[in-house]
Amino acid sequence: MSRHHPGVSNGYPRDDGGLDFAPHSFHPRTSPATRRRRKLMKLGIIIAATVLFGLFVWPGNLSLPSIFSFGLVGSTTEILMDTVRYYDLSNVQGTARGWEREERILLCVPLRDAEPHLPMMFSHLRNLTYPHHLMDLAFLVSDSKDRTLELLVEMLEDLQAHEDPKQPYGEISIIEKDFGQKVNQDVESRHGFAAQASRRKLMAQARNWLLSATLRPYHSWVYWRDVDVETAPFTIVEDLMRHNKDVIVPNVWRPLPDWLGGEQPYDLNSWQESETALALADSLDEDAVIVEGYAEYATWRPHLAYLRDPYGDPDMEMEIDGVGGVSILAKARVFRSGVHFPAFSFEKHAETEGFGKMAKRMQFSVIGLPHYTIWHLYEPSVDDIKHMEEMEQERLAKEAEEQEKAEKEKKIKEQFGDTNGQWEKDKSELQNIAKQASADQKSDSKKNSKPRDEDETSADSQKQTSPKSKKGSAENGAKAADKKKKGNAAKEEP
């Protein structure tokens, strides 16, 4: 039984002999319609030859009905069965190990001005571990002003022509449809509160168009994936499928610069319902759409994103009511049962959150994995950009200051040589001067102390000689007196 629908043949030839597609549809092998036409042509030739043989060559009165009675060709019913496809939908309910049962997945990607993100997305596609030949890709290009479509076609052609036989995917469809989306793609416009209701209703239309145009009877699963997912496990399809839930989503965070905290919860559309939110919904108009993460609607709901534990069990499940659209794996029977993305206010919600509400209303299981995290691309806000510009100006000013300082030091080195060597030299000279001054001081002190010693020595000698001189003079006086007495005595004797 063919897994592909009857071939789309609305292409037109290009000048180079190739084939342009509208909508673009890539087939990894010859389309079933072409094979049927060839088979019917062969069968028609055989029938025509048999009829001519029976009418003109076969003996007797052999009529056309008798030819069929002989069993030369099959019945009319058997001939027509080649244009009929029979599908047993009980075989495409979706199981926990679909890759072993060869269950086909439809991977849906809505695109709008996505040219910068396509290379990143295709790197993820190449790395997915679910068998590529069991996955059909569907893209919706809408309201784009850049080269999203052209680049998408180029990258798909490269992917399908990859030398590794495990790389090409199954059927690939590109749908072009504009919905008049006026909201700009910058982060401020897309996430501004005023634009949320109308923007999400148009996004719901886009998802429904893409799904209704590409979902086939042989698909067991539908995987929705945003183009701007930055980091996700290569095994994400199998990881989500193993839980065997009707609708299941991972936790979605985004990285931030260090000055903003490093990381942050991103997708706040996956949540559990709260009594406060139900009371709020009852107070709003019937066309109102509640959106999460805005002060205007304080719902006090438990968000899947805020329950993340980096070290928690990634297989831990949490029942949720609202669903975020970054990465959704759902069984195809959910959509076949009538669940869709409401482009109107369904229980005061729209798009993916309304999809979760509707699935719960129809008794399908809706599950989130709080500790299984994928990472969305960081998109700076206007305030972030302004702050980054200020930081960049501060960085440039600091670099200019450091450069000016370095130039001054360079000039000083050029004028005075090595400052360290000069300092050592000056230090040595100062030490020598200090030593010389100390030596001179000691020499002067010695010189000053020597005359004083001499004076003291002479004074002492004078003190020592003066008694001797007095004694000598006394002795000389006594001798003179004795001599005088002797002289007088001699004169008296005659």
What is the residue extent of each domain of the chain? Answer: 31-83, 93-379, 384-441
Instruction: Say what the pLDDT of residue 58 is.
Output: 56
Helices assigned H by DSSP within 244-328: 275-283
Asked whether the bond before 23 is cis by omega within 30 degrees of 0, the reply is: yes
Q: Which of 204, 245, 249, 192 is nearest to 372 (CA)?
A: 249
Interval 451-472: pLDDT, tens:
555 555 555 555 455 554 445 5
What is the sign of the dihedral through the CA atoms of 288, 293, 297 and 303? Answer: positive
What is the model's pLDDT at position 29?
Answer: 54
Structure tokens, 482: 């004795």
- What pLDDT was estimated at residue 72? 42
Q: Residue 52 has what pLDDT?
A: 72
What value does the mean pLDDT of the chain take?
Answer: 81
442 backbone dihedrals φ, ψ, rounded to 5°: -65, -40
The 8-class DSSP code of residue 173 comes to E
> Measured between alpha carbons, how far is 97 from 428 in angstroms, rounded to an integer?
85
Closest by Cα among 141, 143, 156 to 185: 143
pLDDT of residue 74: 46
Reported in sequence order, the residue ranges of 162-307 that DSSP labels E, i.e. its strands, are 172-176, 219-225, 229-231, 247-255, 263-265
Could you give the C-alpha distances from 69 to 46, 59, 66, 174, in angstroms and in order? 16, 16, 5, 48
Decide if 170 contacts 176 (C-beta within 8 A).
Answer: no
Residues of the chain with pLDDT under 70: 1-36, 53-81, 183-195, 381-382, 416-422, 448-494
Alpha carbon dihedral 408, 409, 410, 415, in 10-degree steps, equals 90
Backbone φ and ψ for 165, nearest 5 degrees, come out as: -65, -15
Phi then psi for residue 7, to 5 deg, are: -60, 140
Report the pLDDT value the prediction gives residue 279, as an integer from 0 to 100: 95
The torsion angles phi and psi of 412, rounded to 5 degrees, stand at: -60, -40
Question: Quick one: pLDDT at residue 269?
Answer: 94
Instruction: Looking at the structure, give the CATH architecture of the domain made up of residues 93-379.
Output: Alpha-Beta Complex (3.90)
The packing angle between helices 382-416 and 419-492, to 10°, is 40
> Residue 108 and residue 137: Cα distance in Å, rounded?
6
**Quick one: tokens of 247?**
């609708």
Report the candidate in 362, 87, 131, 88 with the shortest Cα–Cα distance to residue 241.
131
- Per the confidence metrics, is the pTM higher than 0.85? no
Q: Which amino acid is at 477?
A: G
CA distance 199 to 269: 15
Are the beta carbons of 250 and 240 closer than 8 angstroms? yes
State how far the Cα of 40 lies from the Cα of 205, in Å rounded to an integer. 40
The pLDDT, as a whole number, for residue 435 is: 83
Cα torsion angle, 214, 215, 217, 218, sign: positive
